[in-house]
Structure 1
Amino acid sequence: MTTSVSASSSATAHHSLAGHEVVLLLETDPHDGLTSQQVTERLTRFGPNALPASKGAGLLLRILRQFHNPLIYVLLAAGAITAGLGEYVDSAVIFGVVVINAIVGFIQESKAEAALEGLRSMVRTRARVVRDGHEQTVPSDGLVPGDLVLLDAGDKVPADLRLIRLAELRVNESALTGESVPVAKDEVVLPEPIPVADRRNMAYSGTLVTTGSGAGIVIASGAETELGEIHRLVGAAETLATPLTQKLAGFSKILTIAILALAAATFGVGLLRDQDPVETFTAAIALAVGAIPEGLPAAVTITLAIGVARMARRRAVIRRLPAVETLGSTTVICSDKTGTLTENQMTVRTVWTSAGPYEVTGSGYSPEGTLHDNTGTPVSAGTEQALLWSLLVGAACNDAALTEQDTRWMIVGDPTEGAMLVVAAKAGLNSDRVTGLLPRLATIPFSSERRYMATLHRDTTADTAPDNIAGHPAAHVVLVKGAVERVLDLCSAQMSADGTLRPLDRIAVLRAADDLAGQGLRVLATAMRPLKPGAFDPDGFGEDTLPAGMVLTGLQAMLDPPRAAATSAVSACRTAGIAVKMITGDHAATATAIAGRIGLLDQPQHGNGCDRGMVLTGTDLAALTAEEFPEAVDRAAVFARVSPEQKLRLVEALQARGHVVAMTGDGVNDAPALRQAGIGVAMGESGTEVAKDAADMVLTDDDFATIEAAVEEGRGVFDNLTKFITWTLPTNIGEGLVILAAIMAGAALPILPTQILWINMTTAVALGLMLAFEPKEAGIMTRRPRDPDQPLLTRALMLRIMLVSGLLVAGSWWLFEWELAHGASLAEARTAAMNVFVVVEAFYLFSCRSLTRSAWRIGIFSNRWVIAGVTVQAIGQLAITYLPAMNTVFGTAPIGWGAWLRILAIAVAASLVVAADKWWRSTLDQT
């Protein structure tokens, strides 16, 4: 038979079709599957079941990109021109700076973005299919639409499937949808407009079968799957420039224009004054080279690298260097719920019996914790019979297993059942003890239709069983757990605290269940029924023979609990002026409960971008117009039942509102938004490889609180970079202005090009880079985030830079003329002028350790690296001043002590002027 299935069929809403309609649409057989000929034809038509590989930039392009910067263009031109003029030393130094910067940039970029490859690896598995009527195992990339795929517990779903047969099938879709518990599947036909997370008759590529078995028809493969759609979103998401790189790019353009204009003006003035064109041109080149902060790229890289090291010590691993600073500018953190703000481990929080509620301490799968009554008094399982039997039912009517691996407790099986095992273990009823007390004989498995699980056990609990129903000890006992309403339908009585039975108070039980559900807890009921000897045949145990008159023992209410430090971390972020928003694929009630527990719904209505209690679902978002969407997103605190595409749209909307967005997540469904965000933050322990590869930062401890520490480090990095720029620019501007002044005055240059390069390179390394080690200033986490529109340098800092530049020009020019006027040679005068720049820079370095506070207040010796750097620079200056070889290369000459005293006097005067400027501005700020 010739295949007529079209590629467009992958866009059909298969969940809204009956199983036989899907079989007809895809021209397959529900029992025998496709024929070999059909598979071959469809493989040719649709291609392999694999996500397309991404094409990265070639090696040459990646190398050339490192030179794509206006300042680099000027340096390259300057290096070429100086070489043409025979100034080979100058040219070699300039080209050396350019090459070093390019190597650093290339190494950074070589840390490949592997998000797409991570997604592709998710679907590389083997699949069991039925073809030509025979079951066989094939590579998953050989699947085609129409294939009949068989699923069992532990299988990874290899393609998007419309389920046509199943038995107690549950699928863990948390990585795809954010759903915190495995989803029970069925074959029911669903409405077409329904989110992916609610399509119970579908199984999607990359998800994991936890329990049961089933069979499904492949309705989409490769790029056409839901996973393929996420792959497309990840590939399409723009990797945004960070606030720092954006500001540096803008700063570089402005600086380049200013430098070229100044150099052109210098050359023009020289020609108007009939000066030698070659000398004037050389002076203009010297001005351009002097005005460019050659050390800036290296300083940025090293400062960021130091920030990376500091963050690593605080359990945050940075994958892209500029991301260090982005956290310091973050205005909104969009956090996934499951596994990020929560433990991703279902935990029973309350056990309710007719005697009242019992609160459970401890979280996660570790069986450490206690049960307390409503007075806070610890209780044991034997204290109250209904409590004992509720715990026994939860642990014995259970197919999960609790294991410990490398000191970490884990659940094998359904997380809900795992939570019931853990709470029993906290009360001293571990799995081995429960099995010994109640050996299992038969099982009625859970199904979405019956909504309960029942088991038959041999009863060895003669001392604890309520055997007075029949007046003598029980031989067997039936245990049931499931949905509250369904279990209540099976019950006629409920157990009291002392084990006696009394009539079922259905209204009271439903009221208790509603109260617990209102707290965002998932509530299950437990029941039992003792049977007298010979009253029941274990071989006939089934749904039709389930004994009537079950006895309700209690309710168990559970949730995926918030991480211990989540509340304080959210509060700290808000104090720092950062809005925190929860974006999850889970249900609105669950998301709202968690948000309330960690304080997200307590955010003030104005001030940090969220309205108190505002919760939006994916359906709500879909109903918003394009004009309403950005404002609603900015105001809301919680987003529930959100699709991967909507997560991406949320991040884009916040960015359109001017926010710097940090997005946290751990699942495949988070990858597009992680890549789009200003900084993507993935979980290191529980996160998928896809999420980690799409992220800029990985938290090795999966703790949301680590983000707070990373924000603090990021702010410190930005501070230190700003300090470096504020420190280095006066020298570059001053060097350019002093050359311009000499040209305009028709005088000899106070400093030579080689001396300018010496100043720029040595001071940047020995002095400026020491600011990268500057400790974070007090109160850094009480500031508001930097306004994304605020320039790299504020008006106050620009005025300070111009002030220091003027002091450098005036001081060096005055000393140059003084030395000449008092009999010094030209080389000696230039050496004195050069040392003015260096010594003033050294004094100014201490002032720049804080842009607002006095150097004395922060402590002269609180950064020992600065002291070491000044010492190294001093040795270098003595060498260039007094060593004959360096005198020859750099055109310097030894100077006397009188000149040094005048240099120090200029530096002290400049420091006093800067201190006065700081004091004056702080006074203005206080008033």
Structure 2
Amino acid sequence: MPITMPSSTAAHHELTSHEVVLRLGADPHRGLTDQKAAERLARFGPNSLPVARTAGLAVRIVRQFHHPLIYVLIAAGAVTAALGEYVDSAVIFGVVAINALVGFIQESKAEAALEGLRSMVRTQAKVIRDGRRRTVLSDELVPGDLVLLEAGDKVPADLRIIRATELWVDESALTGESTPTVKDDGVLPGAISVADRRNMAYSGTLVTTGSGAGLVVGTGAETELGEIHRLVGAAETLDTPLTKKLAEFSKILTVGILGLAALTFGVGLLRGQDAVETFTAAIALAVGAIPEGLPAAVTITLAIGVARMARRRAVIRRLPAVETLGGTTVICTDKTGTLTENQMTVTGVWTPEARFEVTGLGYAPEGSVHDVHDNAAAIDSHPALRWSLLGGAACNDAALTEHEGRWDVVGDPTEGAMLVAAAKAGLGPGQVAQVLPRRATIPFSSERQYMATLHGDATSPVSSGQVVLVKGAVERVLSLCAYQLDGKGVAAPVDRAAVLAAAAELAGQGLRVLATAMRPVGGTNEFGPTDFDERLLSDRMVLTGLQAMVDPPRAAAAAAVAACHTAGIAVKMITGDHAATATAIAGRVGLLDPHEPVEGMVLTGADLAALSSEELPEAVERASVFARVSPEQKLRLVEALQARGHVVAMTGDGVNDAPALRQAGIGVAMGLGGTEVAKDAADMVLTDDDFATVEAAVEEGRGVFDNLTKFIAWTLPTNIGEGLVIFAAIVFGAALPILPTQILWINMTTAVALGLMLAFEPKEAGIMARPPRAPDQPLLTRALMVRILLVSSLLVAGSWWLFHWELAAGASLPEARTAALNLFVLVEAVYLFSCRSLTRSVWRIGFFSNRWLIVGVLAQLVGQLAITYVPAMNTIFDTAPISGDVWLRILMIALAAGLVVAVDKRLRRSRTLGNQHPGVETIGP
């Protein structure tokens, strides 16, 4: 019969397997014929994700130059070339070329996210065709194909399960669910999330245990993975706050420079001055006003930030992302592996005689078992505890592994946690296997909800030589038990009410609870490997205890969340786990206040789906925990926060996180447990998967933006001052105090030797105690502009006075210009120390705390002596040697300028603190 490819696989989980077979025109036993498979492959296309069309090489290269600041730099290079300063022109064009190359490389890397998604579905698949089992490339699968699944297989397409035997699938990369999901062929309601569709297996997920068979219901772009691929491709790659602000700054700077140069030329012509000389002066003004060192300073400052973050285990993939972190107002974080260890851990054991605590986190068998009075529990003195730990470790199919000091679990994380708990009590896997060798197994299934094993030989601690062990869901194991083990190791009638109350109390703490039971066998041959059957267990087991476990919060998570809150950054947990689990972890790390109601603070995917577009932003703003959310909803959450003006950092590790990672202001992927898709879509990768590293990266990002602001506050007064000095000379019909070549010397050398040293400036104290910058705050605030104009005025007044003083005193024109040139540089050097903090005195932050700045100042002074006294440089730059008394006047003017800035800083700080705390005496900068 003809079939149609549905636009969504949603309908298939609502149908019985027979209805799906009819709908797809499939055969649940013999599979498709080769002819049908070929016809459908031609009709529906290969089972692969579409390749996105990208711009051509030439367009991508040209695009790197499409930026106002680049236009300014190109103009600066052309001007310097026209002036014959070919070396300086080559340096400027070199900066342009390097910026373009970096941008081109980063853009190419960003597109790798889509390729990572495509690679996830390139695998082999086991199918039944024409009644025979075959292995084909996953690309060749078509709707209606009968696919076989076994442990270790990657699911090659979206499948409707029609047969399953203890089939468990790890869907964490797709749904965020931290534990494997059991699969069966039952029928499910229509309105159910992807994470809860037990009768579906999705492309890109991994079969952990069991086996099964399923019919292909979605291939290529029509799979859940294909929908994520579409979302990744559609997600807008936003400009960072830094690039936006630099673009605005560059536009204003471009208009200002051209306007002032044109005004200068016009004034000169009106005064009757020579047109060529006036044009030369206008060019000199433009050269002086262009901050040639700004692009290099931005790149180097960001690069230093990258290096600092790398030392704190955060690897940056895009340079501007460094600064974006500093402006973050909301962090959307995954739960599993970021706020938590992603390692299930038994934290307590309840037995009929007592409660015990288990210390140590994760899979490393390091810790101890002790009672509530903090006394080490000797397991030989607590029979129920001993048998509970033995039961958890022996009735177990997982294995512990250790590689380069990192412990991990092969198998189910819950079983791994029970292995580790026993090892902490001295019952390591090797010892357990030796004492209780397994003879038969009743495997866990979703129907029976427990696992049972038969153990024993001559070395068994049980007198009969045989013992049955059971572990599983509390209610199910309890139904098998007629007795419980007391403190003396004697079987007493089970107290069901007490057991259920204890289990409910532990579950209320967000813990997963499993029960353990045992039964000594009266005769060595009562059970054999072939006749060990679950029917023989009913009402014959002895309850030994309850083991409570959790994926524990990381040690530094709570402190990192608190630090973010102090810094004015909202933290929101977005996870695929159940709401109860997410709520418990959120309470432990400080995302929820245990004394306040959680209504409205915890939202599920179903809650989000019920919200209108108008209601969503406000609800998202208020809530702190989002559970059982889909990939589309993660993306919707990020967009809702951005619509409210937030700069969003999004963490994630799975395929389902990729669209939101790309849409966020900064996407943060997990380096240890993250998928390649998530890493390729992200701007930053954490090498330790720890939320505390995100907080540390935010701190570094704030420091980077501070240092960029300090550089701009330092460099602009020189550029403005140089331009205004030229303008004043034209207006008054006077000689130029500094020449274009001298301006280039000042701009290029001071930017490298002085300004770039601010990139090494340590972070200021209290950087994480202040609120984040408002996203719409301009790069140059009003206070900063006032500071820049103040210093510019000091430079213009000082250089103009000194230049004409020297001429009046009989100095030659080259000597007077040399004095003005050195004054510019020395004032910059003094002002540089003030710029180390825009609010505090250099003495308060430590005069020698940035040794690179001292080195830079000394290097610049050597350069100034060279341009003043070396004959060759006198010839090139039209300078001349000056006497000691001239240097004294230069120094006095520079110190006076520094004093004026310090007084202004003190007054501004006093007014700010006074407004914040009226009547409180304030301290100076």
Q: TM-score range by the shorter chain?
A: over 0.9
Paired residue for 2:704?
717
Deviations 1:192-238 (A, max 9, x none): 11100000001111111111001111111112111111111122212
SS in 1 for 2:743: helix
SS in 1 for 2:519: strand
Pick which of 885-894 and 628-637 moved more: 885-894
Change (3 A) 1:685 1:82: closer
Paired residue for 1:508?
498
Q: CA deviation at 1:385?
A: 1.4
- Equivalent of 2:205 in 204, 207, 214: 207
Amino acid at match of 2:472: G
Paired residue for 1:681?
668
Contact 2:64–2:103 (8 Å) recurs in 1: no
Mapping of residues 378-777 of structure 1, within 5 Å: 378-458=376-456, 463=461, 465=462, 473-533=463-523, 534-602=525-593, 614-777=601-764
State yes or no: 1:87 paired with 2:87.
Answer: no
- Equivalent of 1:292 in 290, 297, 309: 290
Q: CA deviation at 1:460?
A: 5.0
Paired residue for 1:468?
none
State yes or no: 1:861 paired with 2:863.
Answer: no
Paired residue for 2:797?
810
Residues of 2 paired with 1:11 and 1:397: CA distance? Answer: 38
Paired residue for 1:19?
17
Q: CA deviation at 1:4?
A: 3.1
Q: CA deviation at 1:433?
A: 2.1
Amino acid at match of 2:816: A
Paired residue for 1:98?
93
Mapping of residues 285-364 of structure 1, within 5 Å: 285-364=283-362
Q: CA deviation at 1:478?
A: 2.3
Contact 1:522–1:557 (8 Å) recurs in 2: yes
Residues of 1 paired with 2:656 and 2:743: CA distance? Answer: 54
Contact 2:435–2:460 (8 Å) recurs in 1: no
SS in 2 for 1:601: coil
Deviations 1:493-547 (A, max 9, x none): 2111212122221111111111111111111111222222144454222234445
Paired residue for 1:902?
889
Residues of 2 paired with 1:575 and 1:612: CA distance? Answer: 24
Residues of 1 paired with 2:849 and 2:409: CA distance? Answer: 50
State yes or no: 1:276 paired with 2:274.
Answer: yes
Amino acid at match of 1:314: R
Residues of 2 paired with 1:116 and 1:589: CA distance? Answer: 34
Amino acid at match of 2:356: Y
Pick which of 45-54 and 294-303 moved more: 45-54
Amino acid at match of 2:126: R
Deviations 1:137-186 (A, max 9, x none): 11212211111111111111111111100100011111111111111111
Q: CA deviation at 1:646?
A: 0.9
Deviations 1:827-864 (A, max 9, x none): 22222222221111111111111111112222322211
Residues of 1 paired with 2:146 and 2:176: CA distance? Answer: 27
Contact 2:328–2:647 (8 Å) recurs in 1: yes
Residues of 2 paired with 1:570 and 1:827: CA distance? Answer: 61
Mapping of residues 26-45 of structure 1, within 5 Å: 26-45=24-43
Residues of 1 paired with 2:242 and 2:741: CA distance? Answer: 31
Change (3 A) 1:418 1:450: same
Q: CA deviation at 1:475?
A: 4.7
Q: CA deviation at 1:261?
A: 1.6
Residues of 1 paired with 2:854 and 2:574: CA distance? Answer: 48
SS in 2 for 1:540: coil
Amino acid at match of 1:703: D
Contact 1:387–1:497 (8 Å) recurs in 2: no
SS in 1 for 2:30: coil
Amino acid at match of 2:97: A
Contact 1:604–1:612 (8 Å) recurs in 2: no
Pick which of 870-879 and 508-517 moved more: 870-879
SS in 2 for 1:349: strand
Q: CA deviation at 1:10?
A: 4.7
Pick which of 899-908 and 94-103 moved more: 94-103
Q: CA deviation at 1:618?
A: 0.8
SS in 2 for 1:73: helix
Contact 2:5–2:143 (8 Å) recurs in 1: no
Contact 1:108–1:321 (8 Å) recurs in 2: no
Contact 1:176–1:667 (8 Å) recurs in 2: yes
Q: CA deviation at 1:435?
A: 2.2
Pick which of 99-108 and 381-390 moved more: 99-108
Deviations 1:26-67 (A, max 9, x none): 111111111111221222222222222334443333332332
Change (3 A) 1:325 1:80: closer
Pick which of 189-198 and 855-864 moved more: 855-864
Mapping of residues 232-243 of structure 1, within 5 Å: 232-243=230-241
State yes or no: 1:196 paired with 2:194.
Answer: yes
TM-score by length of 1: 0.95
Deviations 1:699-740 (A, max 9, x none): 112222122221221111111111100000000111111111
Residues of 1 paired with 2:409 and 2:547: CA distance? Answer: 18
Amino acid at match of 2:45: G
Contact 2:184–2:198 (8 Å) recurs in 1: yes
Change (3 A) 1:12 1:592: closer
Paired residue for 2:179?
181
Residues of 1 paired with 2:69 and 2:422: CA distance? Answer: 67
Change (3 A) 1:285 1:181: same
Change (3 A) 1:777 1:74: closer
Paired residue for 1:921?
908
Contact 1:66–1:102 (8 Å) recurs in 2: no
Amino acid at match of 1:598: V
Residues of 1 paired with 2:57 and 2:816: CA distance? Answer: 49
Deviations 1:94-130 (A, max 9, x none): 3531332331341254141221122222222211111
Pick which of 236-245 and 56-65 moved more: 56-65
Unpaired runs of 5+ residues, structure 2, are 915-925
SS in 2 for 1:782: coil
Amino acid at match of 1:416: T
Deviations 1:569-620 (A, max 9, x none): 1122222222211110000011111111111113999xxxx98981111111
Q: CA deviation at 1:74?
A: 3.5
Paired residue for 1:822?
809
Residues of 2 paired with 1:669 and 1:504: CA distance? Answer: 46
Residues of 2 paired with 1:604 and 1:636: CA distance? Answer: 16
Contact 2:709–2:779 (8 Å) recurs in 1: yes
The Cα RMSD (Å) is: 2.0
Residues of 2 paired with 1:874 and 1:435: CA distance? Answer: 76
State yes or no: 1:7 paired with 2:2.
Answer: no
Residues of 1 paired with 2:903 and 2:812: CA distance? Answer: 36
Runs ≥4 residues deviating over 6 A: 610-613
Pick which of 511-520 and 567-576 moved more: 567-576
Residues of 2 paired with 1:542 and 1:789: CA distance? Answer: 69
Q: CA deviation at 1:769?
A: 0.4
